[in-house]
Amino acid sequence: MTTSTLFNPPDAPDNQRILIVDDDPLILELLGIFITSFGYQYEAAADGKEATEKLAEHDFAIVITDMIMPNMDGMQLLKHIREHHPNTGVIVVTGHTGTFSYTDVIKAGASDFISKPFNSDELEAKINRIFREQQIIRELEYLSNCDPLTRLYNRRNFAEKLLEEAHRAHRQGYQLFLAMLDIDRFKEYNDTHGHQAGDEVLRCAGNVLQQCIRKDVDAAFRLGGDEFALILPQIGAEQARQVSQRVQENFQNLYIDDKTGISIGLASFNRHPEQTWQEDIDDLISRADKALYQAKAEGRSRTASGD
C-alpha cells in the first residue's frame, strides 16, 4: 500500500488584482505606478459609479478609493462593496478636508485608511497586510470545511454543497448523482492491523476519490468513520457508474489486502414540487444509502443504483 498524497489548503489566488478609484488622473497614475512596482495588477476607475461597473465584471481582491468624488463618493462605494462584494478589502484614501474620519470609514467597513500625501512604503505595507489576512481567512474557511485526516470536505460542507448543487441542477436542467461509499470490512482491518494502519487506509481512500473525479466539477467528502460521498453534477447514469468503477479499481490497485474494497450506492436527484427542497435532498440521500447496503449485501466491492 502506498502513502496517499494529502491535499493542501488553498494557495493565494494567482490574480491578486487591485481596483484604484479616484477622479484625479494624477493620483490614479501615481497609484498605478506604485502598485505595478509592488508586483500586482490593477485597473482604474474615475468615480464610484465606474468602480461598481468594473466590480460587476471582474473580481478584485482590494479596492483603493478616494472619498470625495462625483456621481458616487467613496462612502457610497464602500457601502456597495460591503453589500455586494463582502470578501473584497477596501483601503480608503482621504485628503485633509476632515470630511471623513478614520473611525467613520472603519465603522463603514473599510479594511484600512491612508492619508494624502502618502508614500509607497506605507501603501505597500497596507496592501500586503490585507492580502495576508485574506489568505488566513481562506485557510480558516478551508479548515472548517475539511476533514483533517483525508483532507476531503467534511459532513458539514456536504449538506451545504448538496443543496447548492441540487438547486443548480434543477435550475439548469441537468442530472445530478450522489454516490455514497464505504470501505468493506474496514472495522475488521482496523482491529487486525491497528488504528494507524486504518487511518492510512482512509487517507488512501480519500486520495483515490480525488484522483477519480473531475476537478472543480465533482466534490468528494468524508462523512465520518469509513463513510464517504461523491457529488457528481452534469453526468448521466452510465457515466456515474464508470466513475464508481474507476474508484473501485483504483482502490483495489493499492493492494491493501484481499478482503478490503469499496461498495457504492448511486442515486439521482429528483425534484418533487409538492415537497420541500430538504425533503427531496433527504430522499436522495436515503436512496443512495439503501443502494449502498444493497451493494454490500450482493457481495461487496460492488455498485448498486437507488433509482
Catalytic residues: 226
Contact present, 212 and 247 (Cβ < 8 Å): yes
Distance CA 294, CA 136 (A): 44
The grid coordinates of residue 133 equal 489576512
What's the distance, Cα to Cα, between the start and end of the chain in Å?
35
Helix boundaries (H) for the chain: 25-38, 48-57, 74-84, 102-107, 120-144, 155-172, 186-193, 195-212, 237-252, 277-297
Distance CA 208, CA 5 (A): 10
Q: Are strands 112-115 and 303-305 parallel, antiparallel or unpaired?
A: unpaired
Q: Are strands 303-305 and 227-233 parallel, antiparallel or unpaired?
A: unpaired
List the one residue out of 178, 231, 183 whose CA is nearest residue 203: 183
> Can you state the angle between helices 186-193 and 195-212, rounded to 10 degrees?
140
The grid coordinates of residue 267 equal 442515486
The alpha carbon of residue 121 and the mean position of all alpha carbons in its chain are separated, in whole angstroms, by 33
| Residue 86, preceding peptide bond in cis (omega within 30° of 0) | no
